[in-house]
């Protein structure tokens, strides 16, 4: 005969297991991909040095590989974030996911270039356009083509520091000999603009300039511009890495999953104890 307590713990087990099953079944492919891109991305900040584990990007890529038609889905996310979300950080993360891919089809690259070509007419704010251009240039860095170099050189001449930094990054991967003096000139212009102050953007551009020269098998070219020492606080940050901040706002779906898991665990433990009637439990528990 099943006691009321037995039925209680058995119900907890069924409720928990059923909840876990519904969580797994209730999330569509699109929802699971969004959670990975928006909450599991190893994307670094815009300018702060990145201290994530060395294998974080490879783990992220492997996770993306599990989704069917992942590149097309990511392209759809970029379109949606750019035109409809109004959230530049979501756009940054969806673009980063595309940047992490190295197998975009020609049609997918064309779709991104079409967005760029109509950028001025897009009814979004300048921050969204700026974020799109930055990510777009990083995508192009993986796909050498004269047209892509032309696009990077166009933004190299921009007055927007973020666009220039990402244009130099793109040219490090796809630039030809004609890009070398132009990149050097952009770095010199930036160094003169900051007037001797330390500038992280200049450091990033110089590193990519040297990468461009190495890829083209050119001799090293130390840029003869006074380079200020790195500030002590930045040097310490590079040495120690940033302090980890607690996650004070866990995602609601994550809380639901943990709660369901705990219910299932409680039900399983209770069922085992009831079935075995452990001697250290009060005898009245089984009455």
Phi-psi region of 281 (alpha: psi -120 to 50; beta: other; left: phi over 0): beta
Task: Give the domain-ending residue among 143, 174, 205.
Answer: 143
Encoded tokens for 169: 């990054």
Domain count, the chain: 3
Domain contains 279 = yes
Helix 146-156, helix 179-194: angle, nearest 10: 20
Same domain? For 65 and 103 the reply is yes
Same domain, 57 and 134: yes
138 and 176 part of one domain: no
- 94 shares a domain with 47: yes
Same domain? For 58 and 6 the reply is no
- Please report whether residue 215 resides in a domain: yes
Q: What is the pLDDT of residues 76-95, one digit of tens each?
A: 999 999 999 999 999 999 99
Alpha-carbon distance 228 to 235, whole Å? Answer: 13
101 lies in the same domain as 174: no
Are 88 and 111 in a shared domain? yes
Position 287 scores a pLDDT of 47
Classify residue 204: in a domain, yes or no.
yes
- pLDDT score for 264: 57
The parts of the chain modelled with pLDDT lower than 70 are 1-26, 45-54, 224-287
- Residue 278 in any domain: the answer is yes
Structural domain range at position 279: 1-27+254-287
Residues 175, 223 within the same domain = yes
Q: Is residue 33 part of a domain?
A: no
Q: Are residues 235 and 258 in the same domain?
A: no
pLDDT of residue 20: 45
pLDDT at res. 278: 47
HSE of 101 in the Cβ direction (CA atoms, 13 Å)?
Answer: 23
Q: Is residue 35 part of a domain?
A: no
- Domain assignment present for residue 13? The answer is yes
Do 81 and 139 belong together in one domain? yes
């Amino acid at each position: 005969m099943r006691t009321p307590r037995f039925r209680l713990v058995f119900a907890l087990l069924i409720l928990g297991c059923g909840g876990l099953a519904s969580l797994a079944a209730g999330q569509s492919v699109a929802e699971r991909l969004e959670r990975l891109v928006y909450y599991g991305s190893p994307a670094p900040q815009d300018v702060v040095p990145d201290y994530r584990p060395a294998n974080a990007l490879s783990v992220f890529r492997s996770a993306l590989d599990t989704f069917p038609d992942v590149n097309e889905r990511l392209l759809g996310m970029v379109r949606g974030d750019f035109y409809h979300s109004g959230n530049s950080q979501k756009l940054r993360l969806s673009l980063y996911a595309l940047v992490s891919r190295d197998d975009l089809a020609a049609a997918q690259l064309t779709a991104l270039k079409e967005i760029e070509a109509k950028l001025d007419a897009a009814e979004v704010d300048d921050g969204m356009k700026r974020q799109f251009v930055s990510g777009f240039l990083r995508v192009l860095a993986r796909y050498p083509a004269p047209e892509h170099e032309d696009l990077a050189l166009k933004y190299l001449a921009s007055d927007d520091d973020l666009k220039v930094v990402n244009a130099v990054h793109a040219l490090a991967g796809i630039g030809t000999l004609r890009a070398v003096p132009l990149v050097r000139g952009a770095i010199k212009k930036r160094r003169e603009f900051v007037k001797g102050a330390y500038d992280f953007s200049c450091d990033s551009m110089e590193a990519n300039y040297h990468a461009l020269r190495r890829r083209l098998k050119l001799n090293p070219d130390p840029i003869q511009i006074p380079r200020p020492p790195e500030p002590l606080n930045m040097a310490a940050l590079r040495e120690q890495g940033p302090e980890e901040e607690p996650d004070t706002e866990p995602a609601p779906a994550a809380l639901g999953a943990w709660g369901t898991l705990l219910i299932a665990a409680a039900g399983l433990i209770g069922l085992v104890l009831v079935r075995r009637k452990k001697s250290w439990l009060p005898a009245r528990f089984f009455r």
